Amino acid sequence: MNPWLLSIPLAYLLGSIPFGYLLVKIFRHEDIRATGSGNIGATNVARSGAKGLGIATLLLDAGKSFLAVKIALHLAPGNYDLAVITAVAAILGHVFPIWLGFRGGKGVASALGVILALSPATAACTFGIFLVVFLLTRYVSLASMIGSATFPLFGLYFLPQRTPLVIAGLIFIPLLVIVKHHQNIRRLLSGTESRFGKKKGE
């Protein structure tokens, strides 16, 4: 079977598994979309008081998209055009899951997973930037956006192929992540964004 026809729909389907939503529903019988920021991501799951489920959400959301890209690279070794388009499909699955009326997450953990599969060095550098901004500000959203913004630079440096499709993917992924943070941007500007591990107002 043509690896494109297999990898891309599979990536969307894997990406669209809303682990944060499912874990909170199964273990706490709550709808994560009704608490905190309303996001289905690891940060909001942890914020809702379920630290362990937050960590599990991060690992599973990153893991599903990591797997999607690894499958593409397995079916078509060295084809980074396919790998990057598969990466985009997995993130689109997470951000626009058919199961939740196309209202999904912000794509941070799923982007981390695809980057790890595409280029571990790029993932390490992007995560490093994330960590510095997070430790300085305690804003996960700001760290995610600044990490995203630097990702194309590291990707261009470390990825073995720089085709037009690869470059387009490297630019599209952070744009999507940042656009999905529009409410966080508004809260950051008005000083009402919540800092990780702190109650409102601290």
Q: Enter the tokens of residue 71.
A: 């499958």
CB 111 within 8 A of CB 180: no
The residues in 21-60 that bind ligand NKO, with binding defined as CB under 6 A, are: 36-37, 39, 41-44, 58
Task: Build a one-symbol-per-residue string for 170-199: x at contacts with ligand NKO by CB under 6 A, - elsewhere.
Answer: ---xx--x------x---------------
CA distance 10 to 6: 6
36: phi then psi, degrees, rounded to nearest 5:
55, -130
* Interaction between residue 119 and ligand NKO (CB under 6 A): no
> Is the Cβ of residue 71 or residue 147 nearer to ligand NKO in the bound state?
147
Residue of 23, 126, 159, 170 interacting with ligand NKO (CB under 6 A): 126
Q: Residue 62 contacts by C-beta under 8 Å, 6 or more apart in sequence?
A: 109, 110, 112, 113, 116
CB 107 within 8 A of CB 94: yes
The residues in 135-174 that bind ligand NKO, with binding defined as CB under 6 A, are: 140-141, 144, 147-148, 151, 173-174
CB 23 within 8 A of CB 31: no
List residues near ligand NKO by CB under 6 A: 36-37, 39, 41-44, 58, 106, 108-109, 111-112, 126-127, 130, 140-141, 144, 147-148, 151, 173-174, 177, 184
